[in-house]
């Protein structure tokens, strides 16, 4: 989870928009996009001719001049083994203090990668006069990273989340189909990433869907692309992902919708929790619907409603009251344990 300290906001992203960092126009479009999080990219999306000072100048200008509202801004430098990594980090940390919230570390393979980055951030925050702390999301893109996912997730108090990166993982595994059947072909790796993140109290983000609708895309094909994005996102949500990368603002509406309970779901879940506590808890059947409730199922309800609070559809105070009732019986607050509250 991201804690936006100056705005007193907790953000568990449903949508993270990734885009090239080397053009100001892309930053302006990202700032206007309906996403929870933006991720300007110095790495894979940045052409080689713009790596280094050219893209860094644009990135620092964007951070200092563009209003990104309440979005999380997390920057993806070149990977830690690249000759550009240190320069990217120095440029943004010293050129735009307190103007962004996180670093997304690509090609994270071992916890030592996170420890190294965290130590650099310690020094650069002090040197740059930061008054907030930069958080870290790690990209799980290689087989070794999947094996080490929990160690990576717990390598630093700066950790906010894990992101599954499908393209490099697919290449390293020799799996050719990474779009239509991805939740089947990468079921283990995706859920291993989500499990490691949740075990550490972090958020888990799924990879991008790599098909886009172009101006000349026929209507029938556009419909299939939208359906594919929805199916992929719903499948990853049911593997434990909290949100997904998007590669264009056109994907945001569907992705936000998938990772947010709708009004009917929220109303039904609220009612179920209220009935459960009114009837005294334990193992009970809803007298109206016949649904079975117990402490475990109500904790799932609390987790679902935390997403509604994130989306501004439910009062946080109501959810906190329900969580406190659960804690009084079970001894723990599921929302605290899973990092759903600050």
The answer for residues whose C-beta is within 8 angstroms of residue 14's C-beta and 6 or more apart is 36, 242, 243, 244, 255, 256, 259, 260, 307, 310, 311
* Max CA separation in the chain (angstroms): 67
- Of 3.20.20.60, 3.30.70.20, 3.90.950.10, 3.90.1150.10, the CATH number of 2-258 is 3.20.20.60
Residue 182 in tokens: 């991805």
**Which residue is associated with the tokens 């190294």?**
116
Residue 111 in tokens: 């916890």
Cα 316 to chain centroid, rounded:
20
Tell me the sheet residues that pair with 18. Answer: 39
| Predicted pLDDT of residue 6 | 75
**Which residue is associated with the tokens 């735009």?**
96
Claim: this prediction has a pTM higher than 0.95 = no
Helix, strand, or coil (residue 233): helix
Question: Strand locations in the chain, DSSP E?
Answer: 2-4, 9-11, 15-20, 37-41, 72-75, 102-105, 135-140, 159-164, 203-206, 243-246, 284-285, 292-293
| Predicted pLDDT of residue 267 | 94
| Predicted pLDDT of residue 216 | 96
Tell me the sheet residues that pair with 104. Answer: 137
Alpha-carbon distances of 253 from 37, 186, 262, 266, 329, rounded to whole Å: 14, 24, 13, 19, 38
Q: What is the pLDDT along the chain (342 residues), one digit of tens a residue?
A: 888 877 777 889 999 999 999 999 999 999 999 999 999 999 988 999 999 999 999 999 999 999 999 999 999 999 999 999 999 999 999 999 999 999 999 999 999 999 999 999 999 999 999 999 999 999 999 999 999 999 999 999 999 999 999 999 999 999 988 899 999 999 999 999 999 999 999 999 999 999 999 999 999 999 999 999 999 999 999 999 999 999 999 999 999 999 999 999 999 999 999 998 888 888 888 888 889 888 889 998 999 898 888 888 899 899 999 889 888 888 888 888 888 876
Tell me the C-alpha distance between 207 and 212, whole Å.
14
Neighbour count for residue 112 (Cβ, 10 Å): 14
Q: What are phi and psi of 317, to 5 degrees?
A: -65, -35
Contact (CB, 8 A) for 218 and 29: no
Domains in the chain: boundaries: 2-258, 263-337
């Amino acid at each position: 989870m991201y804690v936006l300290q100056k705005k007193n906001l907790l953000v568990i992203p449903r949508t993270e928009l990734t885009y090239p960092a080397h053009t100001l126009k892309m930053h302006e479009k990202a700032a206007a996009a309906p996403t929870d999080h933006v991720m300007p990219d110095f790495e894979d999306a940045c052409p080689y001719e713009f790596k280094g000072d050219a893209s860094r100048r644009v990135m620092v200008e964007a951070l200092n001049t563009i209003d990104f509202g309440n979005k999380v801004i997390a920057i993806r430098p070149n990977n830690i083994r690249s000759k550009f990594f240190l320069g990217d980090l120095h440029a943004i940390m010293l050129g735009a203090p307190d103007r962004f919230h996180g670093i997304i570390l690509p090609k994270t393979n071992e916890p030592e990668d996170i420890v190294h980055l965290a130590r650099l951030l310690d020094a650069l925050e002090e040197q740059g006069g930061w008054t907030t702390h930069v958080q870290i999301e790690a990209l799980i893109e290689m087989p070794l990273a999947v094996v080490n996912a929990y160690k990576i997730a717990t390598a630093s108090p700066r950790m906010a989340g894990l992101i599954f990166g499908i393209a490099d993982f697919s290449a390293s595994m020799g799996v050719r189909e990474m779009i239509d059947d991805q939740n089947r072909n990468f079921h283990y790796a995706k859920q291993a990433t989500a499990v490691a993140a949740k075990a550490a109290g972090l958020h888990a983000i799924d990879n991008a869907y790599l098909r886009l609708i172009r101006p000349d895309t026929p209507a029938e094909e556009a419909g299939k692309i939208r359906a594919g994005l929805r199916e992929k996102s719903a499948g990853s949500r049911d593997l434990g992902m909290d949100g997904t990368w998007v590669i264009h603002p056109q994907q945001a509406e569907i992705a936000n919708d998938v990772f947010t309970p709708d009004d009917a779901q929220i109303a039904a879940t609220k009612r179920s929790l209220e009935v459960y506590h009114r009837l005294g808890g334990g193992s009970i059947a809803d007298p109206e619907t016949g649904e079975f409730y117990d402490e475990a199922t109500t904790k799932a309800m609390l987790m679902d409603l935390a997403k509604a609070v994130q989306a501004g559809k439910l009062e946080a105070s109501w959810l906190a009251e329900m969580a406190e009732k659960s804690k009084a019986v079970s001894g723990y607050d599921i929302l605290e344990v899973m990092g759903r509250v600050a």
